[in-house]
Amino acid sequence: VFINIGGLLAPFVAPLLRSWWLKVHNMLYNAQLPALCHKYLNDGTVDPNLAGLIAKANTGAAVDMADPSAVSAFCTSYLDVFNTGIHYSFIASVAAMMISLVIFSLCRKKFPNPAKKEAAAVQGYTAEEKASMAKEIKQRMAALFAVLGVAVFFWLSFHQNGQSLSVFARDFIRTESIAPEIWQAVNPFFVIVLTPIIMAIFSALAGKGKVISTPRKIAIGMGIAGCAYLFLTIFSASMGYPSGTEFRALDDSTRSSMLAGPWVLIVTYFFLTVAELFISPLGLSFVSKVAPKNLQGLCQGLWLGATALGNLMIWIGPVMYNAWPIQYCWLVFLVICVISMGVMLGMVKWLEKVTG
């Protein structure tokens, strides 16, 4: 919970510092302007929307759009100030970590010290046990790798909140007064609010003798994640949204007429957060149940490795988002979630037998 409290606060830091630094230099934040400034400086292309965006973002002396040197000077200055504002957010992160270090240093005497405890015997199998349980160990490792494969695709889909979903928030959501990054705070907010509710539901079902096994919860979680992308697919198709690249090339009035309300992101993050609560907290628990006791540490690392591999592939989202009408981008993630759910459901009885 406390990690998510930090996650709830973190998305506000960078936009606030960036906007503050821009205001110091008589400028205002605009999500579209940096890309157009880069385009102008790189090849001299004057986007039809550049003049209007400069007028909105510039609160100082007017920029003469007929003078290339003046436009170039403003674009260079805007990008420099914009990037420096982002650098300040990294400094804020360093400051936050230093505060954490100070708190830890002041309180470490109150923390339990494992070094003072009697060393526990390392659990393992004897040679005879290994020989007699070789088949079971292989089954357990096979079950673990099967779930790890599903986990990779969950994190690939879930962590689009920092990639294609953030770009979607910037391009297609009517949030003039809210930076796109801030919408990432919706997920930790839902985690804090929904965790006790989900846990209460699990406890109530267990009290009635209807315990949901971890493999089945993971399958349900993939289905719920699929609901988020089903919603986005239907919504984007009904709105006739083009690709991100095509959308950004439209004039201001056309883009404004196509913008959606913030509720679209809230609904999407609701589904993704519920899916996370069905999968993420249970992952390491599942690993501890299924992993051979002499490979516990290695298997815990494999779960974290699957998470990292999923994160490594999240660049796929923005590529599809900018290349195709965006409903096809969401459709791909929907298919990934549905296939992963189907695979998990197909393995549920086997996994329950192995972990039982």
Residue 58, phi then psi, degrees to nearest 5: -100, 115
Strand partners, 173: 260
Q: What are the helix (H) ranges across 313-325?
A: 316-323
1: helix, strand or coil: coil
- Which tokens is 146 given? 């099967």
Residue among 284, 309, 273 at smallest CA distance from 156: 309
- The pLDDT assigned to 121 comes to 47
Q: Read off the pTM.
A: 0.85
**pLDDT recorded at residue 114:** 56
**For 12-58, how does the pLDDT look when each residue is reduced to its tens digit (9 = 90+)?**
888 888 889 999 999 999 888 999 999 999 998 898 889 999 999 99
Given the structure tokens 């298919």, which residue do they identify? Answer: 335
The Cα-based distances of 325 to 247, 266, 295 in angstroms read: 9, 22, 46
* pLDDT value of residue 293: 77
**What Rg value do the Cα atoms of the chain yield, rounded?**
25
Residue ranges of the chain with pLDDT lower than 50?
118-119, 121-122
pLDDT at 212: 92
Q: Which two tokens stand for residue 130?
A: 């290994």
Rounded Cα distance between 157 and 145, Å, is 19
Q: Which of 192, 164, 178, 188 is nearest to 14 (CA)?
A: 178
Q: By the 8 A CB rule, do 18 and 85 touch? A: yes
Note the pLDDT of residue 77. 96
Amino acid letter for position 58: N
Measured CA to CA, the distance from residue 297 to residue 291 in angstroms comes to 9
